[in-house]
Amino acid sequence: MQIQADDIVFVLNPQSGNAMHPRQLSAVCEAAADEAGRRAAISATRTPEEAAQVARSAHDAGAAAIFGCGGDGTLSAILQGLPAGSPTALGAVPMGTANVWAYETNLPNTPMAAITAQLASLDGARGDARWVDSGRIWSTASDGAVQSKRFLLMASWGLDAAAVEGIVRSDRRRRMKRMMGEPAYFVSAVRESFGRRPWPLSISLDGGPAREIDAAMLTVGNTRMLGTWLEVNPRATVVDGELDLLIVEGAPWRALAMAPLARSGWLPMGPGVTNVRFGRLEVSALAHPPPVQVDGDPAPLTSYAVDVEPGALRVMCPEPTSAVLGG
């Protein structure tokens, strides 16, 4: 695949939950690009590293846009290859299990409609292509090397991350995910809550004094939704230059018990439940480290710092009035 300037690049993930046959999907991508008067460059990738490399090549070649044809994990993989501030716009063809970015930005559900709408926004015919925030999470490897990963949606510590990890590491739960879809994460969270104690953590916001908590769950959101049915950061937008932190203190079952409230869009703030905005967060484990996930992928157990990257990502927005876009 040779990428040229102004191309529309499509990264196909054949492993996505609702994936079409690659040949069929490639034909759809080519037809949508041709209809918009654009040239399509298509790459079927097998690993997140391959997807990131394609994204880097798209940026270097001056591609107009790059689409992730898969789930939110595909978008996350592409994001790792796009430098902050890249003019190459990111788009989504929702074919995964949850498709949270597509859900929050009101993208059409079918591949042809999603691509057509976003390409129209790239040309200004419907909506626009705009600069939005991303997050970056920093960690220290076992050899002392500092690593970082960009995220579009959310990072979390505690019960939510344990549910994600449970699915990734269990063949049975992966089969359940293929059969049930997104509800499999809730089932996994229920199982992970049994017998769990809270995780003692030290957190610091925007360089302020450290605070010690016993956490059931922390979520750091660039966007609002945990999956497509739990609104854990109801004030979050991707255009405010900040990230949103939800802290639920106490035993993990307490976070689980609040799910019906988050489902209805009414998450009460009070003793043991806090939601604040920040630009930088530092998290350290004081005892047994909690599981961690970043945009749906388990992350290593270590200390972390999280920064917002204001206006660092260009995305195609055919429905710019959606709440997460500040509409």
Q: pLDDT for 157-182, tens place per residue?
A: 999 999 999 888 888 888 888 788 78
Instruction: Determine the pLDDT at residue 268.
Output: 67
DSSP annotation of 9 reads E
- Residues 266, 160 contacting (CB under 8 angstroms): no
CATH of 135-310, one of 3.40.640.10, 2.60.200.40, 1.10.287.130, 2.40.50.100: 2.60.200.40
pLDDT band at 266 (very low <50, low <70, confident <90, very high): low
pLDDT confidence bin for 25, thresholds 50/70/90? very high
Least confident of 30-34, 83-87, 94-98, 184-188: 184-188
Would you list the domain boundaries of the chain? 8-126, 135-310
Give the Cα separation of 251 and 158 in Å (integer). 10
8 A C-beta contact, residue 211 and residue 278: no
Same fold, 8-126 and 135-310: no
Return the structure tokens found at 296: 């749906």
Number of residues assigned to the chain: 327
Share of the chain above pLDDT 90, in %: 68
The model's pTM is 0.93
Per-residue model confidence as pLDDT tens digits over 218-253:
999 999 998 888 888 989 999 999 999 999 999 998
Give just the sign of the alpha carbon dihedral 43, 46, 98, 149. Answer: negative
Q: What is the pLDDT of residues 49-66, one digit of tens each?
A: 999 999 999 999 999 999
Strands 280-285 and 40-44: unpaired
| Choices 3.90.79.10, 3.40.50.10330, 2.40.128.130, 1.10.1060.10: CATH for 8-126 | 3.40.50.10330
Cα 311 to chain centroid, rounded? 16
